[in-house]
Amino acid sequence: MPSLDIALRPARLDDLDAILSLERGEGYETLVGRSTRREHEDMFAGGRHAYFVGESERLEAFSILRDIDHPHGNLYLQRIAVAQPGRGVGARFLSLLIDWAFTNTKAHRFYLDCFDDNFRAQAMYGKLGFRRDGLLRQAYLAPDGRRRDLVLMSLLRPEWRV
């Protein structure tokens, strides 16, 4: 299948339907966080978060960044998901987002946490230069009461485009 040409743009409020459905993709419930429409609207309006989408003919990916103006330059990749995994969209979209982040903010450290068994996501981050900082043991309380480990990963500005 040919790879899609993805364009990055800031999300608009009228993208929320598509974003809600992207983060509720089949099988995603144990891979990525999800929020209610109201929570998204609050984050959208709150000034601490920045939403982005990736589109070709339709919306293919979205992401939420947090702490764009962090005093220590720690920019957090709060969420990312694509419509159809395994087609190169995530890596293309995230590489555009990394370029946007290091070009348009003063971030020094672009970081994320990820469930330790989400190997596809970790492979994508590793491919784009993120390194593993460590493991947040039992940091996440799942809805069923289980605790899950989170892998912490980051990409530093000096490592960008190296």
Ligand X SMILES: CC(C)(COP(=O)(O)OP(=O)(O)OC[C@H]1O[C@@H](n2cnc3c(N)ncnc32)[C@H](O)[C@@H]1OP(=O)(O)O)[C@@H](O)C(=O)NCCC(=O)NCCS
Q: Which stretch binds ligand X (CB under 6 A): 25-33, 65-73, 95-103, 140-148?
A: 25-33
Point out the residue whose Cβ comes nearest to ligand X.
Answer: 90
Cα–Cα distance, 98 to 127 (Å, whole number)? 13
Smallest separation (angstroms) from ligand X to the CB of 86? 4
Stretch that binds ligand X, among 13-21, 41-49, 120-128, 154-162 (CB under 6 A): 120-128
Q: Which stretch binds ligand X (CB under 6 A): 35-43, 66-74, 81-89, 100-108?
A: 81-89
Which pairs from 98-105 meet CB under 8 Å and 24+ separation?
98/128, 98/155, 98/160, 100/8, 100/52, 101/65, 101/75, 102/157, 102/160, 105/68, 105/69, 105/75
Assess 120 for contact with ligand X (CB under 6 A).
Answer: yes
For residue 29, report the phi and psi dihedrals to the nearest 5 degrees.
-60, -30
Among 16, 18, 28, 48, binds ligand X (CB under 6 A): 28
> Per-residue string for binding with ligand X, 88-107, x by CB under 6 A?
xxxx----------------
